[in-house]
């Protein structure tokens, strides 16, 4: 049996991930009730969140998780309640926040 090395090449285009989550998704998911992109409201601004976690490899998964489960004591005394959105949406929103 010979190895079929060419198959490996098929696995490579993972690179083309469209992390195009958007302000519309954030608005639709009611995030903007408490957040704004560049101003602190009830919650921290999304740009501040991006700055805080910039360069951390696990940030996207961690922020998606905080969005779904809620978060407290990281930014102040006001907690964020768990958000009732699809895990895929949370992932997309975390990627978008980190891109700001």
Q: Which positions touch ligand HEC (CB under 6 A)?
A: 29-31, 33-35, 42-44, 49, 63, 66-67, 71-76, 78-81, 83, 85, 93, 97
Q: Rounded to an integer, what distance in angstroms lies between the CA atom of residue 87 and that of residue 64?
A: 7
Residue position matching structure tokens 């993972």: 14
Which CB, 30 or 39, lies closer to ligand HEC? 30
Q: Do residues 92 and 28 lie in contact, with contact meaning Cβ atoms separated by under 8 Å?
A: no
Query: Phi and psi of 23, rounded to 5°?
Result: -55, -35
Which CB, 6 or 93, lies closer to ligand HEC? 93
Which CB, 58 or 73, lies closer to ligand HEC? 73
Shortest distance (Å) from residue 19 CB to ligand HEC: 14
């Amino acid at each position: 049996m010979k190895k079929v090395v060419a198959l490996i090449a098929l696995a490579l285009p993972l690179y083309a991930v469209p992390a195009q989550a958007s302000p519309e998704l954030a608005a639709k998911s009611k995030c903007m009730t408490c957040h704004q992109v560049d101003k602190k409201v009830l919650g921290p601004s999304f740009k501040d969140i991006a700055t805080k976690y910039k360069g951390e490899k696990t940030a996207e998964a961690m922020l998606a998780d905080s969005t779904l489960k809620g978060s407290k004591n990281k930014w102040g005394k006001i907690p964020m309640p768990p958000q009732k959105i699809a895990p895929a949406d949370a992932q997309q929103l975390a990627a978008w926040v980190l891109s700001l």
